[in-house]
Structure 1
Amino acid sequence: MSFVSKTIIEADHELRYLNGAELEILRAYLNSSEKRIKVIKTLRDREKEIISKASRKLFQIHPDYIGPGGNASGSRQRALCLRDYGWYLRLITYSIIAGDKNPVERIGLLGVRDMYNSLGVPLIGMVDSIQCLKDAALAELKSEEEVKLAEPYFDFVIQNMAQ
């Protein structure tokens, strides 16, 4: 659910109009829409470069992952790892446009710990991988303002995987 929808539903649940503070928050959110779209376009258009940088950094931190018997040792396993990078990056863009963590939480985090555990993927590696993805993605953004729009959603994923 988007930030806008959530605000409207809360007011309607209380059978009231949006108050002044809510309207100001909505104004600020709507005024940031062009910046949000710019961030999303940058992340989308630079996806391959972001994933390449992030995976290189991850495999420097955890070289055993690409070594014999590692979770990303073969071309198939490595492709799956890179696919997950793209998947998380895309989910984060959904949250950026919504202005809410709900898209990444509902689609990308519910049950993820169990899934990775069942596949034998170390969760610390997933935390490190999203941190690498965050670093690579934020490096592509042009301003501190753009970084502030994207960073909380990367941090949310990292924190949830680290629990």
Structure 2
Amino acid sequence: MLDAFSRAATAADASGSFIGGTQIATLKTFVAEGNKRLDAVKAISTSASCIVTDSVAGMICENPGLTSPGGNCYSNRRMAACLRDGEIVLRYVAYALLAGDSSVLQDRCLNGLKETYAALGVPTGSMARAVAIMKACAVAHINGTNGDRGPQATNNTINLGTTAKGDCSALASEAASYFDVVSTSIS
């Protein structure tokens, strides 16, 4: 896994040059946005159980046959495996968001996942749908971390003790791209 700093150093080393110019500007932006990034990860982490449970429930609501005898979520063991897989995906998306790099997601989570699902007979379309629902939930949580609880805020807003101010849409978009990588990988 490479974080933004390691990636810049590796690129400079490969070209035989010092880190400078646009690489330093990129790193300065990464550091300046650090509190937003940490708050976005905190928003995902503190709501992980709800995000995963809601995503799996949504997938099942759209395909009730999954909980019927013979379905891939029929029995407590299979349902627990489905929830576990969703939690693992969400955890690695959070790691990627924290590092600003999807390589940890590729190396530790997605490598061989599609083949494993195929071998186990897990319908990847259903898992991809659960990931899409997770993406929507996580993006909503991230967008709620910007510290600006203006007129659209409700009494149901959870105070996560965030420190970031301003627009978090770039981080939400980054997280969404990591979920898209997962969906593409398993589809």
Q: Same fold (TM over 0.5)?
A: yes
Q: Deviations over 1:61-102 (max 9, x none)?
A: 221111111011111110110011111110001100111110
Distance between the aligned counterparts of 2:86 and 2:54, measured in 1? Answer: 11
Distance between the aligned counterparts of 2:106 and 2:84, measured in 1? Answer: 18
Tell me the TM-score normalised to structure 2 length: 0.82
- Identify if the C-alpha distance between structure 1 residues 22 and 129 changes in structure 2 by more than 3 Å, giving closer, same or farther: same
In the other structure, the counterpart of 1:114 is: 115
SS in 1 for 2:131: helix
Structure 2 counterpart of 1:52, which letter? T
Name the structure where helix makes up a greater proportion of residues: 1
Shift, 1:139, TM fit: 2.3
Large movers: runs of 4+ above 6 Å: none
1:12-51, aligned counterparts within 5 Å?
A: 12-51=13-52
Distance between the aligned counterparts of 1:79 and 1:138, measured in 2? Answer: 24
The alignment yields a C-alpha RMSD, in angstroms, of 1.3
Distance between the aligned counterparts of 1:114 and 1:148, measured in 2? Answer: 28
Distance between the aligned counterparts of 2:114 and 2:122, measured in 1? Answer: 9
Distance between the aligned counterparts of 1:56 and 1:29, measured in 2? Answer: 35
Distance between the aligned counterparts of 1:54 and 1:136, measured in 2? Answer: 8
Distance between the aligned counterparts of 2:6 and 2:111, measured in 1? Answer: 21
Distance between the aligned counterparts of 1:145 and 1:11, measured in 2? Answer: 26
Q: Does 1:101 align with 2:129?
A: no
Distance between the aligned counterparts of 1:132 and 1:34, measured in 2? Answer: 26
Shift, 1:136, TM fit: 2.0
Q: Deviations over 1:28-83 (max 9, x none)?
A: 11212111110111111111111121112111122111111101111111011001
Structure 1, unpaired ranges of 5+? none
In the other structure, the counterpart of 2:161 is: none
